[in-house]
Amino acid sequence: MPDLKPVQDLKPVIAVILGDPAGIGPELIAKLFNEADIFEGVHTVLLGDRWLWQEGQRVAGIDHQLPEISEFSQARQYSGPVFLPMDTVDQDAIHYAQETAAGGASVLALLTRCMDAALANDIDAICFAPLNKFSMKKGGLQYEDELHFFADHLKVTDYFCEFNTLGHLWTARISSHIPLKEAATYITEARIIAASRLMYDSLKLAGNPNPRIVVAAFNPHGGEGGTCGREEIEVITPAVKACQALGYPIQGPLPADTLFIKARDGEFDAVVTMYHDQGQIAIKLLGFMEGVTVQGGLPIPITTPAHGTAFDIAGQGKANVGPTRNAFLIACRMGHNLRQQRIQHT
């Protein structure tokens, strides 16, 4: 008789959240759950208020009866998606297109439950529908954004940052919501190395075996040999070389005005940009609203569509599910690979 080893469940558990209750999130998630085939290979747990899930389905014209569970740890007993109901907000407190403390607090409670599940290794990825920053701030968010909330709750001490992804192309930025005149002070070797490595590792986790990553220059024409700024010579080039010495095939720095043409044409999988507008202008040109935001550097991948709560069309059932589907699929891919890594390490 051969030894019988316990069968390891290779499938990841993906937590899904409805997003801000006053926006298009609930209807998007209802549409997502109506998609065929995408739930094979993963355990999906939808977390939220029962009434809001029903409302989302009503708006989307969909009626799904999901089996209910009471703990994330039960998800592995089901092959298809399941619902984990929570009671976080009264229906009376929520109105479409209104930022409310109640809505924000509800979202924070759901996210906190997910973080705890992540810390307990009960889930392998999270995908959430759009949140509303103002609702969350009213509802008690103490951080500048949800990424910092995640990072603190998940006890992250290493570098973390947000990736904007659009089709094959991912971007990260060394500095983000700061005055432009301070951007130069953020250009450090340590940040560039950390962001480039994190990008590389994250793309691998997302299933890209050979990520081609380029670092953008900071100054016009890449500093023109030092005559138009010295950050390229003094910081960025040494950082790229340090990455290469560590075995990360990072390229650059390349001047920003032609870099995104090359990226669009498929020469690179990812661009590490130096400041907010350098990346955001390009990615919005390419069709940002179709994109997905990936929170990088956390213990588990967290994804969300790049667009917002779209209060102007909330409750009308016409929101496009495409970016939400992409966000879910990236969470599934990254969660799957993370799950394999975790099993190999145990």
Partner 1 sequence: MSKLKIDRPLLITPGEPAGIGPELTLQLMQHWGQQPLPDPGLGQSLPEVNELRLAAVADPDMLAERAATLGIAVRINVVPTPDAVPPAQAGVLNVLPVPLSAPAQVGQLNPDNADSVLSALGQATDWCRNGQAAALITGPMHKGVINEAGIPFTGHTEFLQARCGVERVVMMLATEGLSVALVTTHLPLAQVAEAITPERISQVTRILVHDLQTCFGCSEPRILVCGLNPHAGEGGHLGHEEIDTIIPTLDQLRDEGLNLIGPLPADTLFTPHWLNQGDCVLAMYHDQGLPVLKFKGFGHAANITLGLPIIRTSVDHGTALDLAGQGIADPGSLHTALGYAVAMQHEPSLHTKQA
Nearest by Cα to 172 from 298, 257, 279, 307: 279
CB-nearer residue toward partner 1: 190 or 261: 261
Closest contact distance (angstroms) between CB of 60 and partner 1 is 27
Strands, E assignment, 50-124: 82-85
Among 284, 311, 313, 317, binds partner 1 (CB under 8 A): 284
Among 281, 313, 329, 338, binds partner 1 (CB under 8 A): 281
Total of chain residues touching partner 1, rule CB under 8 A: 36
Q: CA 84, CA 221: separation in Å to the nearest integer?
A: 53
Closest contact distance (angstroms) between CB of 305 and partner 1 is 17
Among 264, 322, 329, 338, binds partner 1 (CB under 8 A): 264
CB-nearer residue toward partner 1: 49 or 231: 231
Closest contact distance (angstroms) between CB of 223 and partner 1 is 7
Per-residue x/- mask for partner 1, residues 218 to 257, rule CB under 8 A? xxxx-xxx--xxxx-----------------------xxx
Closest contact distance (angstroms) between CB of 260 and partner 1 is 6
45 - beta bridge partners? 15, 82
Show contacts with partner 1 in window 138-197 (CB under 8 A): 176-181, 183-184
Q: Is 260 in the site for partner 1 (CB under 8 A)?
A: yes
CB-nearer residue toward partner 1: 201 or 290: 290
Q: CA 69, CA 138: separation in Å to the nearest integer?
A: 30
Q: CA 328, CA 115: separation in Å to the nearest integer?
A: 17
Q: CA 135, CA 20: separation in Å to the nearest integer?
A: 8
Closest contact distance (angstroms) between CB of 251 and partner 1 is 18
Phi, psi of 305 (to 5 degrees): -60, 150
Where does this chain touch partner 1 (CB under 8 A) — which range of 68-76, 104-112, 153-161, 280-288?
280-288
Angle (nearest 5°) at CA 53 between 96 and 51: 75
Cβ-based burial of 63 (10 A; exposed 0-12, middle 13-18, buried ≥19): exposed
Closest contact distance (angstroms) between CB of 128 and partner 1 is 22
Q: CA 334, CA 206: separation in Å to the nearest integer?
A: 5
CB-nearer residue toward partner 1: 35 or 224: 224
Torsion angle defined by CA atoms of residues 231, 234, 238 and 240, in that order, rounded to the nearest 10 degrees: 10
Q: CA 156, CA 295: separation in Å to the nearest integer?
A: 12
* Interface residue list for partner 1 (CB under 8 A): 176-181, 183-184, 218-221, 223-225, 228-231, 255-261, 264, 275-278, 280-282, 284-285
